Amino acid sequence: MGNFFAKDWTGAPFELFGTAHLIALALVALVNVALLTIRKHAGETARRNIRYGLAILLVINEIAWHLWKWSIGEWTVQTMLPLHLCSVLVWLSAYMLITKNYAIYEFAYLLGIAGALQALLTPDAGIYGFPHFRFFQTMLSHGAIVTAALYMTIVEGFRPTWASVRRVLVGSYLYALHVWVINDLIGSNYLYLARKPETASLLDVLPPWPGYIPIIIALALAFILLFYLPFAIKDTRRKTQTRQQIKQIS
């Protein structure tokens, strides 16, 4: 048990797309596929219990991470403030699940899923491979962010609109601007606006700082539009069917 939380991990290091990583990704996928069954069979009470349980899981997992970082002497304002996209979405997603807040849902769905998926594919786990606490915490945190947004979409029937796209774009860019200022003031690297992360990530294939920042902005726009696309197609088809029905009646 001591090695499970150890700072100086003596077990196998994290292996990108190794067996443990692939199993964790498969489990995240299975949980989200199960949302289709919940939508068909779960009543209101069961749905509320699932939302509350997922919210509690997000919060407890995040608090455990902060406590662990503090216990090994690595908690600093430069690294542990909830300013990274996924860090802030942990708390916002928990609040969304409890209150069904639509404004938060817009960000969680259009932006949060893409960010969490990137973190699932290239986790910032450092040397901590399976079965270290950090391995479980990382996969659970980002997996739950994805599940929270998909749950509200698939089970609770939430959906983004074109106005959601505009709000998320403006809000995310304004947020990044504020984080940029904070980074400059305290010497941090939140949102990786000051430099690339030290561990492997998708940013490794992009140009050096600051060349990758405009690409990140463009990718954020692309992902937001991509996640809105299914609803845009659905709305277009509905409008087409409505026009056809009107023509038939007239």
Q: Which two tokens stand for residue 137?
A: 């915490």
pLDDT tens-digit map of 42-61: 999 999 999 999 999 999 99
pTM score > 0.85 for this model? yes
Task: Find out whether 182 and 190 touch, Cβ atoms under 8 Å.
Answer: yes
Measure the CA–CA gap between 142 and 69, rounded to whole angstroms.
18
Please identify which residue in the block is written with the tokens 């490794």: 204
Band of residue 2 on the pLDDT scale cut at 50, 70, 90: low
pLDDT tens-digit map of 58-103: 999 999 999 999 999 999 999 999 999 999 999 999 999 999 999 9
Band of residue 197 on the pLDDT scale cut at 50, 70, 90: confident
Choice between 238 and 23, residue whose per-residue pLDDT is larger: 23
CA-closest candidate to residue 52, choices 96, 89, 105, 97: 97
Measure the CA–CA gap between 179 and 185, rounded to whole angstroms.
10
Measure the CA–CA gap between 152 and 147, rounded to whole angstroms.
9
Q: Is the pLDDT of residue 169 over 80?
A: yes
Q: DSSP assignment, residue 8?
A: S
